[in-house]
Each structure stands twice: as C-alpha cells, then as structure tokens.
Amino acid sequence: MLRRWPLVAMGIVLAIAIARAEVIDRILAVVDGALITQSDAAAVIRLGLVAGPADPLAAVVDRLIERRLLLREVDRYAPPDPQEADVDRAVIEIRDRTGTPAQFEAILLQTGFSLDQLRRHVRDDLRIEAYLQQRFGTVQPSEEEIQLYYREHAAQFTQDGVVRPLGEARDVVKAALVAERRAETIRGWLADLRRRANVNVVLR
C-alpha cells in the first residue's frame, strides 16, 4: 500500500489538473466547426481586446463569433497583409494598457495566451479592418443629411450647456454620421452572415 500511495496521489493530482483544464477550456460556442473556448474569452477580456460591457462573457462570446465570421470572409477575399510595424505598434499599445511589462507577462501566463497568439490576433484584427474599409468604404452624406443629424443629435455637440454652431461642428457631425451609418451597415451584414452560418452557442 505504501508503494502504491505515490501512484494514487499522482493520479489524483492529474485528475484535478485535467478537471481544471476542462473548466478553463470549456467550449462556449462553435462557429462552422471552429471552437470558441472560455480561455479565448478570458484572454481577450484580460488583454482589453474587447470592451467590457455589463455582461462581459456573453457579449465577448458574441464578439468572438462575429470575429470568426469576419475572418472567414477575409480569408475568402484576402486583403493585403498588414505591415509588421503596424502589428508591433498595436501589440505595444495593448501591453501598455495592461499596466507594467510584468503585469502583461502575467496575463499571458494566466490566460495561456502566448505572444505569438496575440500577434496573430492583432494581425487578423488589422486584416478585418482593412477588409471592412475595402468593402464598405465611406459613404459621403449630403448637406441636408448632415443638418438633420445635427438637429436630431444636438446633445452630442453641446459644450458647457451650449450647442456648437453647425458651421463650427460640421466636420465632427459629418464624421459621427458616417461612422453611425457604417456601423449600421456592418451590423446588418454580420447578422446576415450569422443567419447563414452554423452557430451553436453553448454558453446560453
């Protein structure tokens, strides 16, 4: 029995380790056969790769599903790869947001997200943005549309209780209108991609 005890103890330790791994990497969603795991979600949250809404995990899973759908489209149309300098700059910004270099390394270690994985994630994000710009571009609104948006969203252009004159705020108003329309168009397109894909959310 004394000889067998170390083997039993080792078996218990291995069982605990496997159980923990299964908890960390439990599947949260499947997108056309590609898995999204809890460790994926934990890494993007800890590294600040997505915004932190009121219900982080559910919202992050939705973001990761959309990202997977976007990458499928990106791979189909293959926009130019980003410059390595742009990838380096983005990684440095992420590192700086997390605090000290030691804190950054600790997050990578705790989430099991390697620096190479982070660089691939950043590179894919840049590819996605290039593709969206290429596909949807920028639609220029008319002067009437700018004026209507200005009137309907006056609170956005108010400073110290005073609404900025349109002549002074026109560029800001136009940029806000263009960004809102582009976001609406992309949301509708993503919703259509999701309807046509085989998406199974295990989280809910």
pTM of the model: 0.76
Please list the pLDDT of the chain residue by residue as tens digits (204 residues). Answer: 444 444 444 444 444 444 444 445 789 999 999 999 988 998 998 998 886 555 578 889 999 999 999 999 999 888 889 999 999 999 999 999 999 999 999 999 998 999 999 999 999 999 999 999 888 887 789 999 999 999 999 999 998 889 999 999 999 999 999 999 999 999 999 999 999 999 999 876
Tokens 């994000």 sit on residue: 125
Contacting residues for 140 by C-beta, under 8 A, at least 6 apart: 178
Q: Rounded distance, CA 82 to CA 122, Å? A: 10
What are the domain boundaries of the chain? Answer: 11-137, 140-196
Query: 11-137, which class in CATH?
Result: mainly alpha
In the DSSP assignment, the letter for residue 156 is G
Residue 14 is predicted with a pLDDT of 40
**Are the C-beta atoms of 133 and 105 separated by less than 8 Å?**
no
Helix (H) / strand (E) containing 201 = strand 199-201
